[in-house]
Amino acid sequence: MKFSIIIPAHNEADVIGLTLESLVNQTLLPKQVIVVNDNSSDQTSKIVSKFADEYDWITLVENKSTNQHLPGTKIINAFYKGFLLLNKDYDVICKFDADLIFPDNYLEILANKFKANPKLGMVAGFCDIKVNGIWQLENLTGKDHIRGALKAYTKTCFETIGQLKTSMGWDTIDELLAKYFGFEILTVDALRVKHLKPTGASYNKGAKHLQGEAMYKMRYGFVLTVLSALKMSLKKRSLPYFINYIIGYVKAIFSKPERLVTKAQGKFIRDLRWKGVLNKLF
């Protein structure tokens, strides 16, 4: 299978070399890797250039943008900057973060999973982070959710869901829409990827209400939003996170930002989420 990979990178000089090194050592090499250097002020560009000089399937793209790291906007805008230059002759398209170390057989295992089940639209491993010197599963991980750091879609799935949304929550919307259109999603517990930076560590403070706004855009409804906020605030052990989550949703009710899904898709999402809640309770 032909893998095309886009990696948005903003000030990743300390880790991007490790990510690219793990990709050039894959047992199944990607067809193309495009790194979008998104307004970096460090040596990210220089490091990527060295790899691009050595491997003709690695390309560096320079992008000018804001220094504010707002989730779901900056990173996806950078992704599309790379997508414009992507060779569209691919079987699988990946959006990877610039701070990952992949096991050498990562792409090969993904390819085997896709080949074994034509209904699969997305496949990924799990992220490990280093805590007190020990690599352990990142606490945001769930077996039914693929982390935004390591997304991989078949071409058919990617096009059917309308590609990626430039919004907070894009990495949940993609999965929900994939299920809406009949695709299956698979996470492989044994396939562990080292995630070098904690999720959200560099997010701008202006992002604090965006998660609640995303729930509005996905037509979750208030009760499901509260339950989601409770779950995430407990994981993060943060009461302010819960409060900001709800404030973001309530503000969206009045400001009415554009919805990201249709009414029919919203009903599907609510039914699916309620089914998951009830299964956990009973």
Question: Among candidates 124, 170, 130, 128, which has minimal Cα distance to 150?
Answer: 124
Backbone φ and ψ of 271, nearest 5°: -60, -40
pLDDT of residue 209: 86
208-229 pLDDT, tens digit per residue, is 788 899 999 999 999 999 998 9
pLDDT at 200: 55
On the 0-12 / 13-18 / 19+ scale of CB atoms within 10 A, 70 is middle
| Element (DSSP H or E) covering residue 215 | helix 210-217
Residues 9-23: tens digit of each pLDDT: 999 999 999 999 999
The alpha-carbon radius of gyration of the chain (Å, integer) is: 18
Cα-Cα-Cα-Cα torsion 171, 174, 179, 184, nearest 10 degrees, comes to: -70
CA–CA dist 171, 142 (Å, integer): 13
For the chain, what is the mean pLDDT? 91
CA distances from 200 to 115, 148, 169, 203, 243 (A): 33, 11, 13, 5, 18
Would you say the C-alpha torsion 186, 230, 168, 268 has a positive or negative sign? Answer: positive
Q: Could you read off the pLDDT of 78-89 as tens digits, one per residue?
A: 999 999 999 999
All structural domains of the chain, each given as residue ranges with its CATH number in brackets, are 3-195 (3.90.550.10), 208-281 (no CATH)
pLDDT, tens digit, for every residue of 47-71? Answer: 999 999 999 999 999 998 766 656 6
For residue 149, the surrounding DSSP H or E stretch is none
Q: Average pLDDT in the 184-192 region?
A: 94
Residues 225-236, mean pLDDT to the nearest whole number: 88
Indicate the pLDDT class of residue 77, thresholds 50, 70 and 90: very high
Instruction: Dump pLDDT digits (tens) for 120-176.
Output: 999 999 999 999 889 998 876 677 889 999 999 999 999 999 999 988 889 999 999
- What the block records as the tokens of 34 is 């495009």
Orientation of helix 222-236 relative to helix 263-281, angle to 10° = 50
